[in-house]
Structure 1
Amino acid sequence: MNLLADTTTTAAITAPLFLTDCYKLGHKDLYPTGTTKVYSNYTNRASRIDGVDHVVHFGLQAFIQSYCVEAFAPFFAADEDEAIAEYEKTLVSVLGPEHGIDTSHIRELHQLGYLPLVFRSLPEGTRVPLRVPSFTVENTEADFFWLTNYIETILSAEIWQASTSATTADVYRQLLDAAAQRTGGDSAFVNWQLHDFSFRGMGGAHAAAMSGAGHLLSFTGSDSLGTIDWVNRYYPSTAGSENGQILGSIPATEHSVMCAGIAHEDEQATFERILEKHPVGNVSVVSDTMNFWSVLGEILPTLKNKIMAREGKLVIRPDSGDPADIVCGTRSNPEIPEPEQDQTPEQNPAYFGAVQLLWNEFGGTINAAGFKELDPHIGLIYGDSITPARAKDITERLEKAGFAASNIVFGVGSFTYQYVTRDTFSSAVKATWAEIDGQGYDLLKDPVTDSGMKKSATGRLAVLRDEQGELYLVERADAKAQAASLLEAVWKDGGFLKTQSFKDVRNVLGNIA
């Protein structure tokens, strides 16, 4: 369930007000008397991934539409007394009847009819250096200073994963672009070289859609169909920027299909039936249900004429074993001793690996850079246990063996997109400035017991570019710096001032032409 879009119950009226940490419920009365403004920023402060020092900014527009607009619509539309009664009912159930929290500020928010906030943001799709803010948020009405950091919890939760997945995909994209350039592959093919299979391993459909959209900023291949609706809903096409194809895939089998076929007939008959059902077009077949090497050495050779006569590609999918050894052969693994005598594909197919065996049977061409590319009627995808390190290892082993990187497509799952946390890039929302009794105060967090990573920026902030085009942060920014800042207002007092289509975000990142 997506709590941000749940409007089916009475409790949904106040649901967005409880998408926060419990301790924030009473903060309104804990700020200094006279507080009228709180200004916060979202920054990625550090990286746990070697070599990654920029994080792709993504997800803010979706958060604003889903939370600030859609989730609050039932609250603002509800009867005022009913809404406040529902809010107080939850307070009592959580904190007890003597919670001591005045709810007049919630009534005042209902009467106002919108969230009095302004978000200033870099363009989504920007690679933002560590310790440079992606966006800021502050209240626009003095009585609602408490609202800025009241939404910190849900704001952080809805941004970090989309942004982290976008950054992870960007890492893969740079790696695969470099491999294509070295080995002469078609750069457009890289759009399809990393395929998203992560849906089933994510923390629900909403998380899968957010993460899947981050993947699609750098690639087009995906089986996560739920992402299409998320993209169209939160980053829709505009008259001057049509999103075009958001994602694409091909017909494919799974193990239940193959196991049923093998049990009812046999594996070769199953392959034949699949090819008959798909006489044209690309189709992918799981090939390691029993003996992957028998598929390559016995079944495919008997079907070669049918495969070569088709208008389309048969994509072979191994799904178990060491990915690099399966694709490239154990002969490419320096940790495995060389056999004492020469090997033949029939004697030891694992020694040669899938790409070499497919080349032996189906042939191909030598590209302008001098690397082998498989015949376009046959292909290979490996969709299990892939990481950037493994993808790099495989493309480098292929290159060493004289094969272009374009001979392999990688499928990535929840290990790639779920085995991360908010701490992967130390993503955090922190207040850096407040107005109290009409005077501005620079706020600073700098724990003496910390390494320095948790030290926050301070004051009002601006983001500018240096002579090399790199973004940098200006702390305690004066009016001139703020006016020149690349942090532009995108939403204020209930309405968008600026939006981006998904194509716009892709264009900013620049991975998909």
Structure 2
Amino acid sequence: MFPHLQNLILNTDSYKASHWLQYPPGTDATFFYVESRGGLYDRTVFFGLQAILKGWLAHPVTHADVDEAREFFAAHGEPFNEAGWRHVVDVHGGRLPMRIRAVAEGSVVPTHQALVTIESTDPRAAWVPSYVETLLLRLWYPVTVATLSWQVKRCIATFLDKTSDDPAGQLPFKLHDFGARGVSSAESAALGGMAHLVNFRGTDTVQGVLAAQAFYGEPMAGYSIPAAEHSTITSWGREGEAEAYRNMLRQFASPGSLVAVVSDSYDIFHAIREHWGKTLRDEVIASGATLVVRPDSGDPVEVVHQCVTLLDEAFGHTVNRKRYKVLNHVRVIQGDGVNPQSIRAILERITGAGYAADNIAFGMGGALLQKVDRDTQKFALKCSAARIDGRWVEVFKAPVTDAGKFSQRGRLTLTRHREYGTWKTVSIPDGVARAEDMTLDAGWEHAMETVWEDGRLLKDQAFADVRARADL
């Protein structure tokens, strides 16, 4: 769609074009790291680096790319390192000379720990890691969405454990991704939708499923069901509302199936009492399907509670082993006004009224894929070391106006304690060339491995393994 945006050299901030001239003379290596400096949650689910690497860095830079970038920056007002980029093309075949180490994807890591390190591997290209900061730091997005989704999963799991006879079987489909139309681009839908699928199996974001196929080899990461929208109901007219609902049953209802029908185009309470609860009640039961009623307006907590109560009056319930009510033949899905706070409030209300969490599922759109930013988890990519005149020196920032922006110093790696599962970022000692060669204290193990080096993926992680690491 935007062919000029595929040039890796132009996938950066404007001022990056001048930074190769700004390092101290004698600088022939640099070292950077990525961390969450805190934020809304105290830990993050690491995910999405492999997609960024495959999607962008796997494509070698060409002389044509260099030509285009040279012309652009000349007109744009920035200097351009043409000789440096020609060197990358001629000597490295267009593959960027740098090494990337990272924690395994799906790992749940406390904030303030190094998640990724990036280091240059060619003394003539020490500027490369800084140049791709803009691209690599976009990692914040899939990590933040995966983290948000994971936190919601924890919340729902708590209520299922308390009220459901089958919490493990229920949980994977309790949060459905409705966010495709609410994001800023197809790429956001792909990365964010895929990040949600680390934790759940339900989605309407096709791009996310396709991204999991393309970047993590997952044949089918998510599933959906037939569902009505307002236009497919209101096109029958108000007088034909019940017939529109009947058509949904005729088209999609069969034993064991799920059929979702938005039912508040006019009056959700009338729709449940009269249409679903009387006119169509016997047809719903006879179909053998589970009808999922979707309210789509009003106060989510109050409306869901009323809907569940009215459906109970119409279809009845059974009482499970934990003494909570489970509706017969019907369920509710709430997709309007859904966010982590409203999900908890809805679950507190209905379980407090004696209904199992089995009765409700959620669809989250903009709050899942769009209402996040880099500051949600305060992500940063910073330089922590540089080799100048043959000696590694610590590089860091410590602004007196904001201690929260202090950066770590030295060449870094992440370790994990085998017994206690705690994480610790440590410095690589002088004289040790590579992080994996350093000796760790007793009980500690390396938590990072080299995933990318000099333009090649060294560790191809499967989506199933990512999910297993992130599992509660």
Distance (Å, rounded) in 1 between the aligned partners of 2:287 and 2:110:
48
Asked if the contact 1:457/1:475 (under 8 Å) is kept, the reply is no
Deviation at 1:84, TM superposition (A): 3.5
Map of 1:171-320 to 2, 5 A cutoff? 171-187=151-167, 188-236=169-217, 243=218, 245-262=220-237, 266-280=240-254, 281-300=257-276, 301-320=278-297
The AA in structure 1 aligned to 2:15 is Y
Aligned partner of 1:61 among 29, 50, 63: 50
Asked if the contact 2:416/2:446 (under 8 Å) is kept, the reply is no
Aligned partner of 1:327 among 281, 301, 304: 304
Map of 1:485-504 to 2, 5 A cutoff? 485-504=446-465
Deviation at 1:442, TM superposition (A): 1.0
1:18 aligns to 2:10 (yes or no): yes
Aligned partner of 1:122 among 98, 103, 125: 103
Deviation at 1:321, TM superposition (A): 0.3
Deviation at 1:412, TM superposition (A): 0.3
CA displacement 1:33-77 (0-9 Å, x = unmatched): 111111000100011x2xx2001111110111111113x3xx33x
Distance (Å, rounded) in 2 between the aligned partners of 1:150 and 1:194:
38
CA displacement 1:420-466 (0-9 Å, x = unmatched): 1101111010010111111000111111111x110011101121224
Say what the alpha-carbon RMSD is for the aligned residues. Answer: 1.7
Specify the alignment match of 1:454 in structure 2: 405
Asked if the contact 2:272/2:310 (under 8 Å) is kept, the reply is yes
CA displacement 1:357-385 (0-9 Å, x = unmatched): 1111111211111101111x211101011
Structure 2 length-normalised TM: 0.93
The AA in structure 1 aligned to 2:377 is F
Specify the alignment match of 1:387 in structure 2: 339
CA displacement 1:198-249 (0-9 Å, x = unmatched): 110101111011111111111111100111211111111xxxxxx3541011
Structure 1 length-normalised TM: 0.86
Pair 1:86–1:277, CA change in 2 (3 A): same
CA displacement 1:249-306 (0-9 Å, x = unmatched): 100110111110125x511111112211124121111100001111111111221111
1:105 aligns to 2:87 (yes or no): no
Distance (Å, rounded) in 2 between the aligned partners of 1:500 and 1:291:
48
Pair 1:477–1:389, CA change in 2 (3 A): farther
Specify the alignment match of 1:135 in structure 2: 116
Q: Which runs of 5+ in 1 are unaligned?
A: 237-242, 329-352
Specify the alignment match of 1:368 in structure 2: 321
Deviation at 1:147, TM superposition (A): 0.3
Pair 1:145–1:178, CA change in 2 (3 A): same
Specify the alignment match of 2:131 in structure 1: 150
Deviation at 1:416, TM superposition (A): 2.9
Q: Which runs of 5+ in 2 are unaligned?
A: none
Distance (Å, rounded) in 2 between the aligned partners of 1:491 and 1:286:
47
The AA in structure 1 aligned to 2:407 is S
Pair 1:358–1:288, CA change in 2 (3 A): same
Aligned partner of 1:440 among 384, 392, 396: 392
Give the SS at the match of 1:266.
helix
The AA in structure 2 aligned to 1:103 is E
> When the two structures are aligned, how many residues end up with a matched partner?
456
Specify the alignment match of 1:239 in structure 2: none
Asked if the contact 2:70/2:80 (under 8 Å) is kept, the reply is no
Pair 1:115–1:357, CA change in 2 (3 A): same
The AA in structure 2 aligned to 1:391 is I
